[in-house]
Chain A
Amino acid sequence: MSRLYVLDVPENTSVAKVAGQSDGVQVDKLGPYFVIEYDGPIVIDRRATGCRHAVWYSCVAGLAGGRIVQWDKNALRVDPR
């Protein structure tokens, strides 16, 4: 199970929203964080989020049970460890 924490600020809401559109991916809140959770790979398409570089490359606040295997201009992908 991978768990990705994303701070709930206006620039990041689309990251959580796009993540939640994938089948099986759960998005909850814990304090000021979105918690994005899935037992398979979590893949977030950057263009779908509309994020530009500064926000995109700083949107991950924490990571549990998973490993970032891709984080480039196309996508962020977290695979279970």
Chain B
Amino acid sequence: MNDLAGRHLARGVDHAAFPTFDPVGTVRFYRDVLGFPVVHSICAAGWGPDDHPDFIHFFFDIGNDDRLAFFYYFGLPRPTSDGKGDVYARFDDSTPDWFVRSRHLAIHVDSEDALTEYRRRLDLSEWPVEMQIQHETIESIYTHDPNGYMVEITRALRPVTPQEDLDANLTIDALVDIAQREGHTMDDLLTRKAELIVERAPSWEVRV
């Protein structure tokens, strides 16, 4: 054991990386339309095994010192499979849209003005906002980048409260418990959560 044991040491997203077959569109979308600066790139020639193509690994600043990165491989043919999805993952037409869209990147902004500004930039581009959703706690805009990756820009309408973090932990503890049972349902989850609420309530009373 050392003094780092048990501490939350991670500091955000260094980078999330995706392949692209359209570096021109990708640079237009992220740098020229959204205004995310290019902050780093690696030109890798003859790197890796013999059959590994030369590639460019390039990065955009998405705020907060976090970065979104792409790989462009010279000469690698774009997969030609049909169906739904993006250049990395394709699904047949019977796959529900909500499942395909469930994997996406959401970038945070602090204000309504910032969200509106990104909406304006996208709507003037080849990649206009496809959907704007506001509910009681968040507001988001969505589009797909030139690679077919779904991108969300979102703002919180109020800060997350400590009791929501507490509730989230109960949800996940309950989920881990019931997800190991065959045929588990939402009813099982809510029942397990109620048990955990009762079990843990004495410690909350002390703290409050």
Contact = CB atoms under 8 A, between A and B. Distances in A.
A64 B194 contact: yes
A31 B194 contact: no
- The interface residues of chain A, by DSSP majority, are classed as mixed
Nearest to A3: B194
A63 B166 CA distance: 17
B163 A62 contact: no
Interface residues of A, number: 23
B135 A9 contact: no
Contacts of A60: 190
B195 A64 contact: yes
A10 B164 CA distance: 11
Interface stretch (A18-26, A38-46, A48-56): A48-56
B135 A53 contact: yes
A66 to B, nearest CB: 9
B197 A5 contact: yes
Given A33-B197, A52-B135, 17 more contacts: A3-B194, A7-B163, A9-B161, A9-B163, A10-B158, A30-B201, A31-B163, A31-B197, A31-B204, A31-B208, A32-B166, A51-B136, A55-B135, A61-B190, A62-B170, A62-B194, A68-B187
Interface of B: 135-137, 158, 161, 163-164, 166-167, 170-171, 187, 190-191, 193-198, 200-201, 204-205, 208
Interface of A: 3, 5, 7-11, 30-33, 51-55, 60-64, 67-68
